[in-house]
Amino acid sequence: MYRFLFTRQWVILALLSLALIPTMIELGFWQLHRHEHKVAQNTLISDNLKAKPVPVTELTSPGHTVPYSDYWRRVTATGRFDTAHEVVVRRRTSSDEQVGYHVLIPLVLDDGRAVIVNRGWIPSGDDQRAFPKIPAPPSGEVTITGRLKADETTKGSGIRDLRDLPPRQVMLINSEEQAKYLDRTVLGGYIELTSPVPAGHSPQEIPDPDDGSIGPHMAYAVQWWLFAAGVPVGFVVLVRREKRDRTAAAEAAAADQDVPEPSPATV
């Protein structure tokens, strides 16, 4: 009755179904892990943005790699801006997706060390090899507040950028490479400036990271698991349909054989 299951076509279909089930289950868990990661990230962002600001020197030091748990921590720093060593980071987008620069400036602390501050975004001019005109930061001693971020590190960053690109332009924000450029001790990571709030034609403040949406990953996980459950159900439906069709075909063939041939006399 079910001998057709041992035909080449049905063996291949069965093997394909067996392969699809664990694959879809794994894809569901992959989406579940992405959902859990997003929830954890949103919680971290929310908690760190709500935490009381602490001096930046409590969370980082020269050569220190900012751990993920300290990303977006609110920190304070007091010092003087070193406008002579201000640089811009190329190919950065604004909140409305316009391409421009991020403005980096060292803040020299009382002990002579510096911390890199991202003042915000400015649009690029007609000549992208020319250093853009940047509104001056506050003069004298200033206390700033911002979000602590880790160094950006990939190929083509830092001192190589300062050598290969136009003067005072870089591709990534990296405290170690900026320390070589400044010839000064620099704290690890950098600060995204949030206070004092830029005014007038100052660089556009970088918005807070999104800590609201968790995305559709959980829905995708459920979909993959439903697909996995549907594979054996679909296979059984196909088997039953094939059996029904074969049975009907066999009954029709038997009925045709039972019909008597007309005799010559009746013809």
Look at residue 215 in the predicted model and tell me its pLDDT.
Answer: 81
Residue ranges of the chain with pLDDT lower than 70?
1, 155-163, 198-201, 211-212, 258-267
Instruction: Give the end-to-end CA distance of the chain in Å, rounded to a whole number.
Output: 40
Read off the DSSP letter of residue 219. H
- Say how far apart CA 116 and CA 226 lie, in whole Å: 50
Look at residue 201 in the predicted model and tell me its pLDDT.
Answer: 64
- Say how far apart CA 45 and CA 210 lie, in whole Å: 8
> How do strand 186-195 and strand 114-123 relate by DSSP bridges?
parallel
- Say how far apart CA 61 and CA 11 lie, in whole Å: 64
Look at residue 243 in the predicted model and tell me its pLDDT.
Answer: 86
Look at residue 197 in the predicted model and tell me its pLDDT.
Answer: 73
Look at residue 163 in the predicted model and tell me its pLDDT.
Answer: 54
Look at residue 147 in the predicted model and tell me its pLDDT.
Answer: 96
Sequence-distant (≥ 6) Cβ neighbours of residue 24 within 8 angstroms: 224, 225, 227, 228, 231
Look at residue 19 in the predicted model and tell me its pLDDT.
Answer: 93
Look at residue 158 in the predicted model and tell me its pLDDT.
Answer: 43
Helices in 63-216 by DSSP H: which ranges?
159-164, 175-182
pLDDT tens track for 160-172: 444 578 889 999 9
pTM of the predicted model as reported, rounded to 2 decimal places: 0.73
| Cβ–Cβ under 8 Å, residues 190 and 104 | yes
Look at residue 159 in the predicted model and tell me its pLDDT.
Answer: 43
Two tokens, residue 94: 């604004």
